[in-house]
Amino acid sequence: MKAHLFRRFLASALVIWLVATATFFLISMAPGDLASKLADPRIAPSARERLREQFGLQDPWWERYLRWLSRAATGDFGYSLLFRRPVGAVLGEALPNTALLAGVGLALELVMGLAIGLIQAYRPHSGFDRLLSALTLTAYALPTFAVASGLLVLFAYTFPLFPPSHMASPEAAHLPYWARVGDTLRHLVLPALTIAITGCGAVARYLRGSLLDEQRRGYVLFALARGCSTRRALVVHALPNALLPLLTVIGLSLPFLVSGSLVIEVIFSWPGMGQVFYSAVTARDVPLIQACTVVITAAVVAGNWLADLAYNVADPRVRV
Amino acid sequence: MKVTRALRWSLPFWVFTVACKQPTPPAEVRAPGEPIHGGQVTVAISQDLTSFNEYTGFSESTELAILDLLFPTLLTEQPDYQQRPPSFAPNLAVSWGFSEDNRVLTFQLRPNASWSDGTPVTAEDVAFTFRVQKSPLLPWPGQEIKDFIQRVEVVSPTVVRFYFSRSYPYQLMDANDGHIVPSHRWGKIPLQAWAHTDFSQHLVTAGPFRVASHVPQQTLTLARDPAYWDRPKPFLDRVVFRVIPDPAQQVAQLLAGQVDVVLMVPPREATNVRGNPKLELVEVPSRVWGYIGWNNRRPPLSDRRVRRALTLAINRQAIVDTVYWGFARPARGPIPSTMWAANRNLPLLPYDPGQAAKLLDTAGVTDADGDGVREWEGRKLTIDLLYPAVNPMRAQAALMIQADLRKVGIHLQPTPMEFTAMMARQEAGNFDAVLSAWEEATKVDLTSLWMTPSSTTGSNNFIGYSNPEVDHLIVQAREESDLDKAKVFWDRAQELIVEDQPVTFLYEAVQLVGIAQRIKGADINPASVFFNLQEWYVLP
């Protein structure tokens, strides 16, 4: 078991290193650098070359790569040229914001998805099931910005129940602790609902499918034959087994907790990783791009790992 | 520089009148139209202030406008560049004057100016700021502005002298560029560490407002600084800057009353803002002009007849009306007509596809095989037009240009590109045509855009335009110490540039500012939306 874990750990480190290295080379090959953007009448054209020299943008790629690798190995991701702060500080602000929004959004998505899937599986092929199928498929197919704009028009502008943007009101800093929490929760509603609405369809479809499969199995039929109610057979007997495939879905959506969604973050002015990563890429801010890549890759690896682990715990058949 | 001189003479009187005026306490009963103390204004900005210290990198113009509220400059550039070279009004400096040979510029500073921690703002701060601006350790893109300033000398705590290596018209403007920063606090941080320092932790300001709170990437709240040493003192208690990256959301929140000011309303939203009784849409003349840059090094685009024909074939008025909803004007030449240095006699090239076709024929770009697409040296001519992919207005304009050129048998291929990649291709000269825009500086100088590119000084003339006569005129203008005389050379250079059509001058933009009607006293002008923020007040 220990040897297995060790091998797995080595493989994960290798994956992260490979992805970071590939990203480095792709970004180095992409045309333009941070100084390319500086075409501005207030800036002398010669300033571009001076800045390239100051930032070491003209050094050969292997020099830049080795410099990055030797620092990153010690956990120092350098300075963001765009945000003019250590990369750690930039990520330190954006990561918790994204984790909060994605965490609440995913939780809501799961709750909604599970509820809908259960209701559908309770009376499959009924009119209500078909209606819910159509609704979840529509929600799944809708582009995120359309859902976000719809929610904004309805609940922020026409009926101003929730704030349209940001994580807190401007005056939140002066509020007592619990009022601040309430303020943040109010700000969370619309962006989290957007995540939940666009995502719950998939969860519901998965769950409905696997519940219907389980319901045909012998142990459910046996429970029903014993006189167990349909509802009880569904929730107590079929559901635990039907949840297994969902573990993969949950594990795979874990990286979303650190990567965020650019569209949602831009529309709701939510200062998270999506925006940071996007502006880093467009500005060719290599230290920041690299750090984002490492964090997101690590999350993908960890998500897979956790999903496997959860399988191990939940399903004795796959135990090693 | 007549105005500056007049200002200088009137200064003692001005200072006296201001000094004698007692601050008026907030009135209990308000006469109609009288300003009210208190309240706050919320401004939408598309990105957060990257740093409170402009010398650690590149600050966008909105960032600089916010820093104007926190840090002093020696003088305040006035928004009068439409009539004349910009004049200056006192800010930290109350008066200034040149030596006989024009190489020494002396500033007399305000004796009562102080930083927010109570320390006086002195000539030492000015000299320190200059050392910072010139430091090779800092990536300040404006460093070259200070090239002709050799040193700055502290004569006394309130007198500071700038020594120039030569005399030229923009000495005052160059000396004034950049905000004065606190030497007693920031001087303690070694310059090597500046680029990596979080200056919000070392914040000492000296402006009408001070920082009340800053939540990065979300909200920057400024509060009136009761200790501000200049007049007028702000009426507003607070100014809140909310980071809203999406322009559509900025307008939506303006319409819903959640923000009071949107700095750039997209033209397609203008009617919504104008139609709202609680809002006002202010059209600010800007110095931005849009163009198609033709690669002057690539035949047949190297032939000015071809470039002229392409301009004649494009219906620029239609682009102004459709893409910019009429909130722009067709452009004539290299200096926007909103600026004093523009040549007012430049012709506006008409939309004339017939003449364009004839010109193309004479230039040898002909449709020999009769398939409707012209050839050049036996091969079908295709012009790739690059434009930034994220800009929907450019995309729309590119399609209209494509349709116009098709009518004269030119095949133009619009190619959206990621912005940085597009800039890199521009710099490398690897393109046929680019659809882009440029904002002219108030410091008029045709060198960087229109002078034959030199490998030693760098250039923004990436299209490779080269006309020895224009080069000569630009040099002559640069050597002139009187800008009115320089304008004679610039006028001629503008004529030549328009004849050559190195670029197709498409449109001159208008900046649309959306502002809530409850805000009174705002004089929104081309210098900055916040130019007289101190005089803004809000109705309850």
Q: According to the model, what pLDDT value does residue B12 have? A: 40
Is residue B51 less than 8 Å (CB to CB) from chain A? yes
Q: Where are the alpha helices (DSSP H) in B115-212?
A: 123-134, 171-176, 183-186, 191-194
Distance CA B53, CA B197 (A): 9
The terminus-to-terminus CA distance of chain B in angstroms comes to: 43
Structure tokens at A100: 């909060």
Distance CA A152, CA A132 (A): 24
Q: Which of A314, A275, A254 is nearest to A94 (CA)?
A: A275
**Range with the poorest average pLDDT among A251-260, B282-291, B490-499:** A251-260
Distance CA B527, CA B521 (A): 16
pLDDT-based confidence at residue B8 (cuts at 50, 70, 90):
very low
Q: Where are the alpha helices (DSSP H) in A30-143?
A: 46-54, 61-73, 87-122, 127-141
Judged by phi (left if over 0) then psi (alpha if -120 to 50, else beta), residue B39 lies in left
Residue to test with chain A: of B52, B58, B138, B418, most A Cβ within 10 A: B58
pLDDT-based confidence at residue A320 (cuts at 50, 70, 90):
low
Which residues of chain A make contact with B258, given a CB cutoff of 8 A?
A: 163-164
Cis, peptide link before residue B232, omega less than 30° from 0: yes
Q: Which of A55, A93, A283 sits opposite B217 (nearest CB)?
A: A93
Please give the C-alpha separations between residue A25 and each of A65, A274, B323, in angstroms, as whole numbers.
8, 21, 39
Burial class (CB in 10 A: 0-12, 13-18, 19+), B55: buried
Distance CA B5, CA A309 (A): 79
pLDDT-based confidence at residue A1 (cuts at 50, 70, 90):
low
Average pLDDT over residues B340-368: 94
Which residues of chain B make contact with A170, given a CB cutoff of 8 A?
A: 42, 219, 221, 240, 242
Please check the confidence at residue B400 and state whether its pLDDT lies above 50: yes
Distance CA B44, CA B375 (A): 50
Structure tokens at A27: 């970004």
Please check the confidence at residue B22 and state whether its pLDDT lies above 60: no
Q: According to the model, what pLDDT value does residue B179 have? A: 96
Q: According to the model, what pLDDT value does residue B117 have? A: 93
Question: With pLDDT > 90 as the criterion, what percentage of chain B qualifies?
Answer: 74
Is residue A284 less than 8 Å (CB to CB) from chain B? yes
Contact A80, A280 (CB under 8 A): yes
Residue to test with chain B: of A26, A29, A36, A270, most B Cβ within 10 A: A36
pLDDT-based confidence at residue B456 (cuts at 50, 70, 90):
low
Please check the confidence at residue B232 and state whether its pLDDT lies above 80: yes
For the residues of B325-386, what is the DSSP string, one character each?
TT-EEE--SSS-TTSTTS-TT-------HHHHHHHHHHTT-B-TT-SSS-EETTEE-EEEEE
Is residue A93 less than 8 Å (CB to CB) from chain B? yes
User: Of B412 and A63, which is predicted with more confidence?
Assistant: B412
pLDDT-based confidence at residue B138 (cuts at 50, 70, 90):
confident
Q: According to the model, what pLDDT value does residue B32 have? A: 59
Average pLDDT over residues A92-117: 93
Going B32 to B38 to B43 to B49, the CA torsion angle's sign is positive
Contact A194, A147 (CB under 8 A): yes
Is residue B315 less than 8 Å (CB to CB) from chain A? no
Q: According to the model, what pLDDT value does residue A250 have? A: 81
pTM: 0.88
Distance CA B540, CA B518 (A): 8
User: Of A4 and B398, which is predicted with more confidence?
Assistant: B398
Contact A82, A285 (CB under 8 A): yes
Please check the confidence at residue B14 and state whether its pLDDT lies above 60: no
Please check the confidence at residue A43 and state whether its pLDDT lies above 80: no
Q: According to the model, what pLDDT value does residue B315 have? A: 97
Cβ contact B438–A32 (<8 Å): no
- Assigned superfamily of A91-319: MetI-like (1.10.3720.10)
Q: According to the model, what pLDDT value does residue B457 have? A: 67
Question: With pLDDT > 90 as the criterion, what percentage of chain A qualifies?
Answer: 40
Which residues of chain A make contact with B51, given a CB cutoff of 8 A?
A: 84
Q: Average pLDDT, whole number, for chain B?
A: 90
pLDDT-based confidence at residue B474 (cuts at 50, 70, 90):
very high
Most confident of A37-41, A86-90, B98-102, B523-527: B98-102
Angle, helices B483-500/B304-313, rounded to nearest 10 degrees: 80
Average pLDDT over residues A224-243: 87
Domain annotation for chain B: domains and CATH numbers: 71-199 (3.90.76.10), 200-285+511-538 (3.40.190.10), 288-510 (3.10.105.10)
Q: According to the model, what pLDDT value does residue B1 have? A: 38
Is residue B427 less than 8 Å (CB to CB) from chain A? yes
Please check the confidence at residue A220 and state whether its pLDDT lies above 70: yes
A191 CA to chain B: closest CA distance, Å?
14
CA B181, chain centre distance (Å): 22
Please check the confidence at residue A298 and state whether its pLDDT lies above 50: yes
Going B132 to B134 to B137 to B142, the CA torsion angle's sign is positive
Any bridge partners for residue B285, and if so which? B510
pLDDT-based confidence at residue B362 (cuts at 50, 70, 90):
very high
Q: Average pLDDT, whole number, for chain A?
A: 88
Q: Which of A115, A150, A117 is nearest to A133 (CA)?
A: A117
Quote the ipTM score.
Answer: 0.86
Distance CA B383, CA B375 (A): 11
B window 378-407, beta carbon within 8 A of A: none
Distance CA B366, CA B344 (A): 35
| Domain residue limits, chain A | 16-76, 91-319
pLDDT-based confidence at residue B7 (cuts at 50, 70, 90):
very low
**Range with the poorest average pLDDT among A196-200, B30-34, B445-449, B464-468:** B30-34
pLDDT-based confidence at residue B455 (cuts at 50, 70, 90):
low
Please give the C-alpha separations between residue A9 and each of A1, A13, A14, A30, A311, in angstroms, as whole numbers.
12, 6, 9, 32, 18
Structure tokens at B119: 């320390």
Please check the confidence at residue B25 and state whether its pLDDT lies above 50: no
Average pLDDT over residues B198-211: 92
Average pLDDT over residues B177-198: 92
Q: According to the model, what pLDDT value does residue B19 have? A: 38
B139 CA to chain A: closest CA distance, Å?
6
Which residues of chain A make contact with B222, given a CB cutoff of 8 A?
A: none
The helix or strand, by DSSP H or E, that contains position A297, with its residue range, turns out to be: helix A286-314
Structure tokens at A80: 């963001």
Burial class (CB in 10 A: 0-12, 13-18, 19+), B107: buried
Structure tokens at A41: 């009448």
> Minimal Cα distance from B424: which residue of A?
A32
Residue to test with chain A: of B191, B202, B218, B418, most A Cβ within 10 A: B218
A161 CA to chain B: closest CA distance, Å?
13
Please check the confidence at residue B23 and state whether its pLDDT lies above 50: no
User: Of B125 and A33, which is predicted with more confidence?
Assistant: B125
Distance CA B210, CA B206 (A): 8
Please check the confidence at residue A54 and state whether its pLDDT lies above 60: yes
Going B144 to B145 to B148 to B151, the CA torsion angle's sign is negative
Average pLDDT over residues B381-385: 95
Q: According to the model, what pLDDT value does residue A319 have? A: 65
**Range with the poorest average pLDDT among A57-66, B97-106, B246-255:** A57-66
Structure tokens at B183: 């030497």
Please check the confidence at residue B27 and state whether its pLDDT lies above 60: no
Q: According to the model, what pLDDT value does residue B29 have? A: 47
Between strands B279-294 and B433-439, the pairing is antiparallel
Q: Which of A206, A190, A196, A194 is nearest to A133 (CA)?
A: A206
Model confidence over A139-186: pLDDT tens digits?
889 999 999 999 999 999 999 999 999 999 888 878 889 999 999 999
Average pLDDT over residues B353-367: 94
In this structure, what is the dihedral angle of CA atoms B317, B319, B322, B324, given to the nearest 10 degrees?
Answer: -100
